[in-house]
Amino acid sequence: MSIAAVFPGQGAQSVGMLAEVADTYPHIGTRFQEASDLLGFDLWKMVQEGPAEDLSQTENTQPILLTSSVALWDVWREQAPEPAYVAGHSLGEYSALVAAGSIDFADGVQLVRLRGQLMEAAVPRGQGAMAAIMGLEDDVIENCCAGVEGVVAPANFNAPGQIVIAGAAEAVNLAVDACKEAGARRAVLLDVSGPFHSPLMAAAKDDFARALESIEVRMPSCSIVQNVSADVPADVDVLRQNLLEQIASPVLWSSSVEKMVSLGVDQFVECGPGNVLAGLIRRISKATPTAGTATPDALTTAWAV
């Protein structure tokens, strides 16, 4: 059996998450205390008590999800085999790299906190937008975006028939209307704070490049398939450059999953709260099962893979 561990991005968070698994596995709380000490505020309290608005702020969500995912990975790896591959959706790529020893946990927590702050600051609130488009082929959505005035483009290729677009607010609205006219089953604006993974995020790259250069990045202990290329990086320089480009480039999640399956992966394990990636993987590769880790029962099942 060839296993890939996958790590979710923003959208997987919820108030009260991981309470049951933390009661069973004290290591969860230990990881959250480490991250809280690094950032100077109580991440676990925010997770358990909210409010949801604070939990959903990008600069908070990113370190909280990385901490959650790495903590669940730690618990799962106590009894599970080494995966052949890791991958993460957007922010989840950093969780994957920390889990696989490419980036130290302390560096990862602080790096994604900064990443969230820079992404929030890149576009003034209200000037950017994202929208989910369901039920259209990729090329039709791309043509709808190209056919309207302003900056808008696909940002997340999540699964067949499920694409997220991002860009300037007015252009996104026009593209949503164009997609509806083209026959989209659903085309709706998302409640997000910025146009992530769009060209408008380029303003965040310079400061983030300096932060990336300031930390040690190693090749991971197992192969990683990265969002930007849907491929395994040749060396650490390519890996680092892909992380930088990811900020303003689309997440090629469908292609990443297909790549891992083509490389022989026949089981996915989602290390993170919720089951967002499991749902996407079912649409991308129906024959490939995905186990979860977000509850004690799920962890027991995941150990059996």
* Residues annotated catalytic, as ranges: 90, 197
102, HSE (Cβ side, Cα atoms, 13 Å) = 25
* Dihedral sign computed on CA atoms, order 22, 24, 25, 26: positive
Residues linked to residue 168 through DSSP beta bridges, in sequence order: 128
The answer to whether the Cα torsion of 103, 105, 106, 108 is positive or negative is positive
Q: In sequence order, what DSSP letters do the residues of 178-234 get, joined into one string?
A: HHHHTT-SEEEE---SS-TTSGGGGGGHHHHHHHHHTS-----SSEE-BTTTTB--S
Q: How many CB atoms lie within 10 A of CB 297?
A: 12
Crossing angle for the helix pair 27-39 and 58-77, nearest 10 degrees?
Answer: 150
